[in-house]
Amino acid sequence: MASSETALAAGQRARGLAPFLRSQMRNIAPFLTLIFLSGFFALASPSFATLDNLGNILTQVSVTGIIAVGLTFVILCAEIDLSIASIANVTGIAVAYFTLQDSYVNIANIPLPGAVAILLSILLCALLGLVNALGLTVIGIPSFIMTLAMMQIAAGVSALLVRGQIAYKVPSLITTLGSGSIGGIPWLVIVAAIMLLGGHLVLTYTRFGRYVYMVGGNREAAEYSGLNVKLILGAVMVISAVCSGIGGMLGVAHFGSAQQNEFDTYLLDSIAAVVVGGTSLFGGRGGIGNTIVGLFVLGVLNNGLDHVNIDSFLKILIRGLILLAALVINVYAQRLREKAAE
């Protein structure tokens, strides 16, 4: 049996390299993009392809990476979370709000021990994620709209907490993880790597991870298989919010301040990282591996454009065009795969 299986599996592949490549396009295209961009910038600027700069890129994508872990779960389920940046922002502000600030900071905050502050902040983002989850599953609001509302709600809570001021102090653990380093490697990069690895392990090796892929692959079939689809969708919304919250807290330490609208660019960056990496917007295909490639594509692009002396206003447009190209590939890859399956 085993040998006939390998033979058949080989046969499936041997039907031609072209169909195989086509079915793998969502994994190959982002990788080629990454190689192309790296090659281009390495040739265009001598300061790009250095070890120092690699460190820069890693640090630059870390906060996005932490947020993108949770978002990958959500997109694999064919849902979306637009509240990630706002939740990151409010969690970062909350952890500062619960920390004793210097006397010149004019915020009516509630200083608490560091561990309590961190715990409360994580509780806050989990709670906001739970509201997303309930809106999506119990009430039945599409995630696009539900998280759009949450984006505003979280921004509102942020505004009420800081009232236009800026806070600087966060618990020492957060300061270390966000801006410290060990043996020359920033803790932020290590945390991001650990979270990405954790996300990958959960998605690949646990029952819950399988459920996420199955719900994303065919929600109707998942329900007819007796899975609790609402519970799984709710869980991914909470996971997304908690990842965002952690990204937010470390981000605040990394930037050195907590203030309103600090994370606005992270919404687009995180979605772009997941989608550029090749995770299907229709759910069920992709994973953390794709997200990592996507993060590097974005990181290399953002960093490389700084090295090649380009109009900084043009950068925004270029990023938009790259995202559009990735979306086109994403949708085509799905179609090609469906054709290959027929």
Partner 1 sequence: MREDRSPILELQGITKSFGGVEALRGVDFALHAGEIHGLVGENGAGKSTLMKIIAGVHTEFSGRFLIDGQETHFRSARDAHAAGIAMVHQELSVAPDLTVAENVFLGNQPTNALGLVQWRRMAREAGEQLARLGLDVDPMSRLGDLSIGLQQLIEIARVLFSGARIVILDEPTSALSPPEVERLFATLRRLREEGTAIVFISHFIEDILRVSDTVTVFRNGRKVAETASAATNKGALIEAMIGRGGEALEHSYSDDLMLPTPSNSPVVLKVDQLSLARSLKDVSFEARAGEVLGIYGFMGCGQQELSRILFGKLKPDAGTLAVEGTPKTFASTAAARRAGVALVPESRRDMLFHQEPVYKNISISILDRISSLLLKPAQERDIAKRQVEQLQIRPPVVGLDLGMLSGGNQQKVALAKWLTYPPKLLVLCEPTRGMDVGAKNDVINIVRDLRAKGLAIIVLSTEPETVLSLADRILVLKRGALVREFRNEPVSKDRLLEAA
> Where does this chain touch partner 1 (CB under 8 A) — which range of 190-198, 215-223, 286-294, 317-325?
215-223
* 186 sits in which H/E element: strand 185-186
Give the span between the Cα atoms of 216 and 75, in whole angstroms: 8
Contact 143, 81 (CB under 8 A): yes
Residues that contact partner 1, how many (by CB under 8 A): 34
Between residues 9 and 14, which has the closer beta carbon with respect to partner 1? 9
Q: How far is the CB of 25 from partner 1 (least distance, A)?
A: 14
By CB under 8 A, the residues from 260 to 299 that bind partner 1 are: 284-285
Give the span between the Cα atoms of 203 and 217, in whole angstroms: 14
Give the span between the Cα atoms of 43 and 153, in whole angstroms: 46
Q: How far is the CB of 211 from partner 1 (least distance, A)?
A: 8
Q: What angle separates helix 207-217 from helix 51-76, to the nearest 10 degrees?
A: 70
Residue recorded with tokens 């949450």? 150
- Of 13, 205, 328, 335, which one interacts with partner 1 (CB under 8 A)? 205
Give the span between the Cα atoms of 132 and 255, in whole angstroms: 28
Structure tokens that stand for 192 in this block: 């991001």
Q: How many CB atoms lie within 10 A of CB 93?
A: 32
> Where does this chain touch partner 1 (CB under 8 A) — which range of 30-38, 60-68, 78-86, 219-227?
219-227
By CB under 8 A, the residues from 10 to 49 that bind partner 1 are: 12
Q: How far is the CB of 289 from partner 1 (least distance, A)?
A: 17
Q: What angle separates helix 229-255 from helix 172-179, to the nearest 10 degrees?
A: 80
> Where does this chain touch partner 1 (CB under 8 A) — which range of 4-12, 102-110, 187-195, 265-273?
4-12
Using rule CB under 8 A, residue 218 touches partner 1: yes
Given the DSSP bridges, would you call strands 181-182 and 185-186 parallel, antiparallel or unpaired? antiparallel
Q: How far is the CB of 340 from partner 1 (least distance, A)?
A: 9
- Of 120, 227, 268, 281, which one interacts with partner 1 (CB under 8 A)? 227
> Where does this chain touch partner 1 (CB under 8 A) — which range of 8-16, 25-33, 117-125, 237-245?
8-16
Interface contacts to partner 1, rule CB under 8 A: 1, 4-5, 8-9, 12, 205-207, 209-211, 213-214, 217-218, 220-231, 284-285, 337-338, 341-342
